[in-house]
Amino acid sequence: MTKHFQMATRLVAIAGTLGLSACGDPPAADGEDPATEPPAAQPGSPPAVAEPAALEGFAREDLREDPGRAAWQTEIFNEAASGQLKKLAATIADSPVLEAKSLAKFVGEGFTTGSLHPDRPPAGATGAEGFAAALNELLGGENAAEFKIVSVQPGEDRVHTEILASLASRKDGKSWQANARWKAAWTMADDGPPKLLALEVPAEGFTFHERATADPMFSDQTAAVLAGNRSYPLQLVHGIDHWMERMEAAYGMDLVGNHGVAVADVNGDGLDDVYFCQAGGLPNRLFLGQPDGTARDVSAEAGVDFCDYSRAAIFVDLDNDGDQDLAVLLNATVVILANDGTGSFSAGNRYPIIGNATALSSADYDDDRLLDLYVVVRDAELGVLGNRLLGSPIPYHDANNGGPNVMLRNEGGLAFRAVTGETGLDRNNRRFSQAAAWEDYDNDGDQDLYVANDFGRNNLYRNDGGQFTDVAAAAGVEDLSAGMSVSWADYNRDGRMDLYVGNMFSSAGNRVTYQRQFKDGIADDLRGLYQRHARGNSLFESVDGGTFRDVSLETGVTMGRWAWSSVFADLDNDGWEDLVVANGFVTNEDTHDL
């Protein structure tokens, strides 16, 4: 197995359960109400171990073929061509003005190219000189380039590829970026690295963005805001790989390191504060925003420096007293903490959850003027020794053996009751969920719920007076893929709320699943599910307040890479909702699949 198939060979974790650790562990309140249906396992019970037979279906579903076999010569070619493109990107970055001699090693005899900007007259250039002219027409300053091959099709005397190309430059107080889908023909690479024979840039898929400044849209201010705190150099500057080498996995140390943040004004001073969830063994951190733009660590004095494995948290006024209370996931438990109005928190009830909870969302689903909590659960069981990387989805493309999400109804007094079954939310509720977002999409006055699920179809629960029905299929938003995140907004300003779902774009998946030899013998509709799984993010436009239209391809929003999180936001204050996607995976020094 090689790194080409990271999309489909995500590791299978054997699941188990861990209790809350002692560091900062809030006591359970009297009359603690388990938030689970069925009840949780008793403390001290041994971790469950998946039987080998339970994993056989998943093993059959993955892409473990060796690309070195004759059937996968396309992947061998991809490696060679990608190496050439990486060198080309370095050459572009090193040269404000590109010269033919530096590009000769990338082009073959008879190379031809048109303009790299489809809106400009075709250059009709040839050879290394023509390639340099075409690149200089588009660049010409402090340059950067990135390339990703998403399709490989062998021909009789050449190989045809489709390349996602991003080229950027800044000069004389301006900056610009071009994104395109290059269609390139290459030599066969029998006697050395492949070389380009022809290059075409179609208008479809091409975007060009220019700004009247050379400054980046964003600058990293992390150190400026946090460096005055002792916890910054000691804890926060280090990535998860640093701590994996130094701390026991039993604490809840996690290879993925996907721990969330929550933002609110917790002390009523009008400034945003931020809470960082951390891996097990590291204390969660609360920073109060200061008038000078810095932030001060008050984690211990605020009573929220828990050392348990913490995946997510949410600030919300749960007792209607005007301040932001805190709900936080600690191991497999939802812990409720009351805010006294100054940003000091006291632990209240806690609610055990079956499985690996991943996210929290809040809304008043039953219109009783008390905000309720929805707990998103991915895996059916918490991983043994903190290994929460992945469960064992069966089947891979449409799994329904994950952990059950939980609806917690606010009963008042910071007490909650699990009502998942009685509200109808336990239907289609074992789908490796990653995120959830509330919105009144049908404009009937109550809050509906969309749930993004990994390894298959998503849920759209329509709320009818506190009772929910999964209408995702009828509404056209099942989005059978690797759901990671969800965000609502009226992107086209037609008065109806639209839906953006973060999934997983995989260049390897796009290349391999369209090859004839991929899963030879399976039905075309099943093959299409694998292809859809690798397509990337989805944008659904509301048509009539009840159904949606998939406009992902026509709006150009699929390529969000491995999109863990996505959100609508008007970044440039022009009145239109933009999209921000946080992406990546286990990176370290090999950035191949970013």
pLDDT tens per residue, the chain (594 residues)?
333 333 333 322 222 322 333 354 333 333 344 444 433 333 333 233 233 333 233 333 343 445 445 457 888 888 999 999 999 999 999 989 999 999 999 999 999 998 889 877 665 678 999 999 999 988 988 999 999 999 999 888 899 999 999 999 999 899 999 999 999 999 986 778 999 999 999 988 899 999 998 888 899 999 999 999 999 999 999 988 889 888 888 888 877 778 999 999 999 999 999 999 999 999 999 999 999 999 999 999 999 999 999 999 999 999 999 999 999 999 889 999 999 999 999 998 999 998 889 999 999 999 999 999 999 999 887 654 344 455 678 887 788 888 999 999 999 999 999 999 999 999 999 999 999 999 999 999 999 999 999 988 999 999 999 999 999 999 999 998 889 999 999 999 999 999 999 998 877 777 777 776 677 777 877 777 777 778 889 999 999 878 999 999 889 898 888 888 899 999 999 999 999 999 887 666 665 555
Cα 53 to Cα 19, 50, 58, 108, distances in angstroms: 28, 8, 10, 52
Same domain, 204 and 139: yes
Same domain, 266 and 322: yes
pLDDT for position 391: 62
Same domain, 100 and 188: yes
Same domain, 181 and 235: no
Same domain, 257 and 336: yes
Would 137 be classed as within a structural domain?
yes
Same domain, 206 and 230: no
Would 567 be classed as within a structural domain?
no
Would 388 be classed as within a structural domain?
no
The span from the CA of 526 to the CA of 512, in Å, is 14
The span from the CA of 273 to the CA of 294, in Å, is 10
Burial of 92 (0-12, 13-18, 19+ CB in 10 A): buried
pLDDT for position 16: 30
Domain boundary among 211, 239, 273: 211
Same domain, 197 and 249: no
Would 50 be classed as within a structural domain?
no
CB contact set of 220 (below 8 Å; sequence gap of 6+): none
Q: Is 111 left (phi over 0), alpha (psi -120 to 50) or beta?
A: beta
Same domain, 194 and 75: yes
Would 115 be classed as within a structural domain?
yes
The span from the CA of 591 to the CA of 86, in Å, is 12
pLDDT for position 3: 35
pLDDT for position 385: 39
Domain boundary among 293, 326, 352: 352
Same domain, 241 and 335: yes
- What CATH number should be reported for the domain holding residue 90? 3.10.450.50
- The count of domains in the chain is 2
Count the neighbouring beta carbons within 10 Å of the beta carbon of residue 188.
Answer: 14
User: At CB < 8 A and 24+ separation, what contacts does 341-346 make?
Assistant: 341/267, 341/268, 342/267, 342/268, 343/266, 343/267, 343/273, 343/286, 343/288, 343/298, 343/302, 344/301, 344/302, 344/303, 345/302, 345/303, 345/304, 346/303
Domain boundary among 183, 211, 239: 211
State the pTM of this model.
0.82
Burial of 289 (0-12, 13-18, 19+ CB in 10 A): buried
Strands 325-330 and 333-339: antiparallel
Task: Evaluate the omega torsion of the peptide bond into residue 38 and state whether it is cis, within 30 degrees of 0.
Answer: yes
Would 456 be classed as within a structural domain?
no
Would 191 be classed as within a structural domain?
yes
Main-chain phi, psi angles of 83, to 5 degrees: -60, -40
Count the neighbouring beta carbons within 10 Å of the beta carbon of residue 101.
Answer: 10
Please report the DSSP string for 105-126 in residue order.
Answer: GGEEEEEEE--SSTTS----EE
pLDDT for position 118: 86
Buried b (16+ CB within 10 A) or exposed e, 575-586: eebebebbbeee
Same domain, 79 and 204: yes
Would 44 be classed as within a structural domain?
no
Same domain, 256 and 153: no
Same domain, 269 and 175: no
State the residue range of the domain holding 196.
71-211
Q: Which pair of tokens denotes residue 564?
A: 């863990």
